Structure 1
């Protein structure tokens, strides 16, 4: 790549990922780029002088290598194709045969051609600049294929960055893979290849997409504020956005602000099938019974968040406490108070080698594009597991653990992505994941500690279910109110109370007295107390621990 004519002249305000390619390309530091991430999206290109959208392959040809005379592409469906310079390539091989569809044959053919043009240039013949684009390379050069043929194929692709004759010639290659960790290690670990992550579009890029699409979708976009719509749509791909606009235009419906949250959640869940789920933030911390000191602290953090003092916010929370104490409910309420989405990590683990890492890559790039959000990991002791799990505990590989730990402690995420781990067994969560810098604040939730607290919890949940327990009835119920009540337990109690009120005579207080007379706790008290002890020992601040349990902190 020695001729200045091959340089890309690009404006300084390019997105960082494109700038990375341009700088590596123009400096001649790299001749091969591995592009992972949002590679199946659409990108702005020009066709016949008109601004439109095309594939990543078309974008690279249009933006990075517009002056390369020959461009070859390969994928397992279409085989080897000559996208540009067919007449030049035809002087070497007039017609591609069916064998060029096979990965090994195609890569060998490309390698022979690259050596051919490089040798011609060394003999003083005119230089032919060649670009190669390998699409979905993980399908023919995967991480987990032990066959010699696959190793040989990956070796040849790597050689494009190592053979002096090829490196000194005007040859550039792009290896496209959705998930970097699914690519063959010979390619993934090649220090001469630059790894570039293609992110989901930014708010500004979504706004530009909407502006381009407005003429073709006048009803869907109407007179809406494009900047506001773009902010609310952050986290979706351009292709997902265009599909949404087409559907709205077909139905003759405007894309209204109130529609965006459920539509966006649906689109993102479709793009990450089975990996994440959105919780709609409908409640606020007012719905949390008691916990006044904790709610005050959380609201202080939210005020700092809104004020932009992101350096004062925790990277993550650990919510622990006995089963049924409302850990998931607290997260829903916290998200509603903050007005941001809650992304629940679901089944990101896969039995196939390398697939779990690929799933995590997809999840992490979605989180980055969302802007501010909470990432909720329920049953964190089971979901995250432990390195080399023992005693029946779920095991997690070192690579997976490292990816999660690195993302949780990424300082660029502070104030943007807040991790929330919930568990009744915090002792089974890896210590490194709970350390400051990943989890800065540990929140304990406890069962009731007095009959008064138990009655207030019963009263609050019963009222929510349209059953009134007068305050004066506390004296009649006091001796029968179970110790160590949890919100989950009381929900079940109130449901049974409502069932009996529908089938038996008597007032709510009378029926509740009968119900409590023969009541047995669903979780043994010794298990509850052990989980209380674990929560006390994890707690960040003593003010959150009821006086009854403070002796357990030792």
Structure 2
């Protein structure tokens, strides 16, 4: 009966036909087009057009309302009927709403309720579509809810369970992008139900590309096939894809693979309100110095993903180790090698009530649509918060719960790979470190052997584009006279280049290099570094990934030392 409808609207129809619910909260990808299968093919319409003309096409009255536009109707006849009813009311109570229709929710809801009761009593069928519902009943604590918002809640709640409205052919649809932006009283009302519109999948995107380009000479429009466009636009909605195609058509710029990737990145970052940032690097795991066993493990993960074995992938990784050991660089190199996009979560928290949860809901929906994708969270101990966090009306605990629940969804295994990076894994809640979330714990350490030190030196020399007057490996590196992390080595080599430039040289001499390395004093916080190192040893979930000298250390002794260091460091 509803096979030609999108899946979300099929669910909508089934729930409505149960005759137990008349209020629906549509959220998610609500600003996109809706695909409707017809005898002539697939059509794409705006959501409100689909609802009014197709889904509620048989209703006697379809009423729209939002704060900016006020009340308006699907057709002129309905508008005239409403105006006549309001004019009659004006003559009785002395108002002049027929001349100047109010837009504020309190007066609008009052007018609509009187009109609805009048027409429902006449056995008319009505659908009310409220757009930008978060501006009518916004998220807020009970104590901070304004009178206008409270009044709107009362009207909407009453319509949801009023026997007359339930017995009649009446439907109220509230449209919002993020469900978290709506007042909890409405969302948790047992007489309302949620309908989520997801971002289109690959098959849907392919169908849309073919629909949009049916009148084009496709070879003049794109260098890549429709299937590749559909594949590479994961995370984009129909409107975004139309923008890409229109840009190519209007500016006569052929769509290329690289250009498509760049467009996708820009569109998704904009769609996420700048809360997601794509992480790109020209480097691969070959450019990572040391960490041999960790790289080997990650390369095995690369092979599994490329072979389509998502079922064997960990849900996520906890990457820990002292500062400067290259945690961020390692993870970005992994994403580059596996060929999937990597995104970094930016600060999605807000001072405004409900905005933080709404931002996170948007981000998580995009991540699911973008899969496969790797997600990097740096300084995870501070970023993710804690289940028991307080002092912010429960926002932090709700955010933590949202992220933890999403991370543990096994349907995302191998599709969304989490990388939680921290120098202090002991500060992270166990909930996130357990199996089923960040399952593999990788520990990184500064180089300890001569081979590791030389490898680090050569990798950093390449990264910093260090040019020497002759082949040379400093004695301080070979003999391990100083301990350098990756960040330390990069800083020291950059300093050597600076000294050479100050002397008017384009290349660094061995003497300048030795002097720079001898002069370099890394910031030393020995107890903090030792604490971070031992925490990494304790967190590591594979003995093979530990350096030789840590493998046989007594764990109870390590834990005791950690407690002492915590007491001293504070």
**TM-score, normalized by the shorter chain, greater than 0.5:** yes
Per-residue Cα deviation, 1:439-478 (whole angstroms, up to 9, x for no partner) = 1001111111245432331122213414359777455754
Deviation of 1:18 (Å): 2.1
Q: Which residue number in structure 2 is paired with residue 541 of structure 1? A: 542
Q: Report 1:37-186 matches (<5 A).
A: 37-44=28-35, 53-84=44-75, 85-90=78-83, 92-93=85-86, 96-120=98-122, 127-144=123-140, 146-186=145-185
Q: Contact conserved, 2:130 with 2:175, CA < 8 A, in 1?
A: yes
Equivalent residue number for residue 3 of structure 1: none
Q: Give the Cα separation in 1 of the matches to 2:274 and 2:545.
A: 36
Q: Which residue of structure 1 lines up, in the alignment, with residue 225 of structure 2?
A: 225
Matched residue, 1:335 = 335
CA RMSD of aligned residues (A): 2.7
- Give the alignment's TM-score, normalised by structure 2: 0.87
Partner of 1:377: 377
Q: Distance in 2 between matches of 1:190 and 1:476?
A: 69
Match of 1:10 among 2, 14, 26: 2
Separation of aligned partners in 2, 1:40 and 1:552: 58
CA gap of 1:224–1:86, structure 2 versus 1, over 3 A, is same
Task: Give the CA deviation at 1:171.
Answer: 0.6
1:262 and 1:116 mapped to 2: Cα distance?
55
Distance in 2 between residues matched to 1:477 and 1:184, nearest whole Å: 61
SS at match of 1:331: helix
* Distance in 2 (alpha carbons) for counterparts of 1:130 and 1:299: 59
Q: How far did residue 59 of structure 1 move? A: 1.5
Distance 1:221 1:498, change over 3 A: same
SS at the partner of 2:206? helix
Kindly indicate whether the alpha-carbon contact (under 8 Å) linking 2:105 and 2:148 is maintained by their aligned counterparts in 1.
no
State the SS of the aligned residue for 1:196: strand
- The alpha-carbon deviation at position 91 of structure 1 amounts to 5.3
Q: Does residue 188 in structure 1 map to residue 213 in structure 2?
A: no
1:271, distance to aligned residue in structure 2 (A): 1.1
> Structure 1 unaligned runs (5+)?
1-8, 121-126
Q: Deviations over 1:399-445 (max 9, x none)?
A: 11111111111111111111111111111212211111111001111
TM-score norm. by structure 1 comes to 0.90
Q: Is the 8 A contact 1:454 1:481 kept in 2?
A: no
Contact (CA 8 Å) 1:70, 1:89: kept in 2 or not?
A: no
Task: Supply the distance in 1 between the matched residues of 2:329 and 2:2 (Cα, whole angstroms).
Answer: 50
Report the CA distance shift for 1:527/1:396 in structure 2 as closer, same or farther (over 3 A). farther
Is 1:487 paired with 2:486?
A: yes
Q: What is the rounded CA distance, in whole Å, between the counterparts of 1:70 and 1:277 in structure 2?
A: 45
- Aligned 8 A contact 2:328 2:421 in 1: yes
Structure 2 counterpart of 1:432: 431
Structure 2 alignment gaps of length 5 or more: 88-96, 559-570
**Alignment partners' CA distance in 2, 1:257 and 1:536:** 43
In 1, distance between residues paired with 2:489 and 2:160?
65
SS at match of 1:190: coil
On the 8 A contact 1:463/1:469 being kept in 2, the answer is no
Deviations 1:493-521 (A, max 9, x none): 11111122333479632222222333312
Distance 2:498 2:533 in 1: 31
Q: Distance in 1 between matches of 2:471 and 2:221?
A: 54
Asked if the contact 1:281/1:339 (under 8 Å) is kept, the reply is no
Q: Distance in 2 between matches of 1:513 and 1:270?
A: 48
Are 1:235 and 2:235 matched, yes or no? yes
Number of positions where the alignment pairs a residue of Structure 1 with one of Structure 2? 535
* 270-279 or 131-140, which deviates more: 270-279
1:380 Cα deviation from its structure 2 partner:
0.8
Deviates more, 1:16-25 or 1:68-77: 16-25
**Following the alignment from structure 2 to structure 1, what is the Cα–Cα distance between the partners of residues 470 and 543?**
33
- Specify whether residues 73 and 477 from structure 1 end up closer, same or farther in structure 2 by C-alpha distance, changes over 3 A only: closer
Partner of 1:124: none
- In structure 1, the residue matched to 2:23 is 32
> CA deviation digits over 1:84-116, x for unaligned, max 9?
333554553358443431111112222222222
| Alignment deviations for residues 161-198 of structure 1 (CA, whole Å, 9 cap, x no partner) | 20111101111111011111111222111112111111
Cα contact 2:357–2:395 (8 A) shared by 1: no
Give, in angstroms, the shift of residue 11 of structure 1. 1.1
Task: Decide whether the 8 Å contact of 1:320 with 1:426 is kept in 2.
Answer: yes
Q: Where does residue 518 of structure 2 map in the other structure?
A: 517
SS in 2 for 1:195: strand
Asked whether the equivalents of residues 451 and 482 of structure 1 are also in contact (C-alpha less than 8 Å), the reply is: no
Report how far residue 260 of structure 1 moved: 1.2
Aligned partner of residue 455 in structure 1, secondary structure: helix
